[in-house]
Amino acid sequence: MKIHPHPVAARHISALGPVLLAATSQGLAGLWFEGQRHHPDTAGWPLDASHPVLVAAAAQLDEYLAGQRTTFDLPLDLQHGTVFQQSVWRALLAIPHGASTSYAELGQRIGAPGAARAVGAAVGRNPLSVVVPCHRVLGAGGALTGYAGGLDRKTALLRLEGAL
């Protein structure tokens, strides 16, 4: 995934491991766990740990993982995906804390019934782990399938939210 112009980035140590945060002038554009699939090429991204959006994102992530917050209040920049991916990512934002859905249900929600595989691919490329709650999407029959940040993290997030 290419994000232009280069966002500013910051590294943060969260309760679930190191994360890379990225922000553009539009808002938070990325939250990736270190080593997760689809991690962007960050060559040339300036580090700015004092950027207000990155400071807020790190603080809210810590509060969330400590069980002190159930939602995020951050400006988001979701424009770095295809129109289809963006529609899936916006649908993820509508899944409430403590709830879960399936890839098929998510496809129906965005008007693409039968597109569970394409929905799954878009979910996997979500650039905003945790904030855009892709961990709330389960496979058929509630199976804990795929999570770019690792199934151990997906399980931990669902347990934190009381969905498991």
List residues with catalytic annotation: 134
**Distance (Å, rounded) from C-alpha 160 to C-alpha 164?**
8
Nearest alpha carbon to residue 61 among 45, 48, 72, 52: 72
**108 three-class SS:** helix
Count of other CB atoms within 10 angstroms of residue 44: 7
**Distance (Å, rounded) from C-alpha 30 to C-alpha 18?**
13
- For the chain, what's the residue count? 164
* H or E, element range at 63: helix 52-65
